């Protein structure tokens, strides 16, 4: 018999991806690989994007849209006008005619909820000099 360890009060539980992403068999969650990076959004090329199709996008959400059959990652802006904004080029904005997010050409496929980057490939610099 001995004294209990003073470090027992400082034990932490293990982190599981299921706890963070709240996967738990949710059929609305999908994984996709980012073909292009976006330093403003913190997405490296090849990052894994967790996409929730059940979540309703809000102003500023990073979303996956289909535009004429092609998938694109954009930022949704609701105010002052409904539009899709490029992640890196803030001046590249496409207005959504009639305010319909489920139009014939552009369809919101899902909301990007998590971005998983490979930390071994390169250093992420959140303050690049340009």
- Threshold 0.85, pTM exceeds: no
**Does 105 fall in a domain?**
yes
The answer to whether position 37 is within a domain reads yes
Cα–Cα nearest to 28, from 101, 107, 113:
113
CATH code: domain of residue 75: 2.10.109.10
**What b-and-e string marks burial along 106-124, b requiring 16 or more CB atoms within 10 Å of the CB?**
bebebbbebbbbeeeeeee
Residue 14 pLDDT > 90: no
The verdict on residue 128 lying in a domain is: no
Per residue in 20-36, pLDDT tens? 777 667 788 999 999 98
Per residue in 76-126, pLDDT (tens digit) is 998 888 889 999 888 888 887 766 666 566 788 999 999 998 887 666 556
Q: How far apart are CA 83 and CA 66, in angstroms?
A: 14
- Report how many domains make up the chain: 1
Kindly state whether residue 44 falls inside one of the protein's structural domains. yes
Asked if residue 59 belongs to a domain, the reply is yes
Q: In the 8-state DSSP scheme, what is residue 101? A: T
pLDDT for the residue 69? 80
In a domain, 13, yes or no: no
- Please indicate, yes or no, if residue 80 is contained in any of the structural domains: yes
CA distance 84 to 88: 12
Q: Which residue range forms the structural domain that includes residue 75?
A: 27-116
């Amino acid at each position: 018999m001995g004294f209990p360890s003073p470090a027992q009060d400082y034990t932490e539980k293990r982190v599981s991806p299921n706890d963070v992403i709240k996967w738990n068999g949710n059929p609305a969650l999908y994984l996709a690989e980012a073909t292009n990076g976006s330093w403003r959004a913190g997405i490296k090329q090849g990052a894994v994007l967790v996409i929730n199709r059940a979540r309703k996008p809000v102003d500023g959400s990073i979303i996956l849209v289909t535009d004429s059959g092609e998938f694109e990652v954009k930022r949704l802006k609701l105010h002052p006008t409904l539009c899709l904004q490029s992640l890196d080029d803030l001046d590249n904005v496409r207005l959504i005619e009639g305010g319909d997010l489920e139009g014939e050409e552009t369809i919101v496929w899902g909301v990007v909820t998590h971005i998983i980057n490979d930390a071994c490939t390169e250093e992420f610099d959140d303050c690049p000099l340009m």
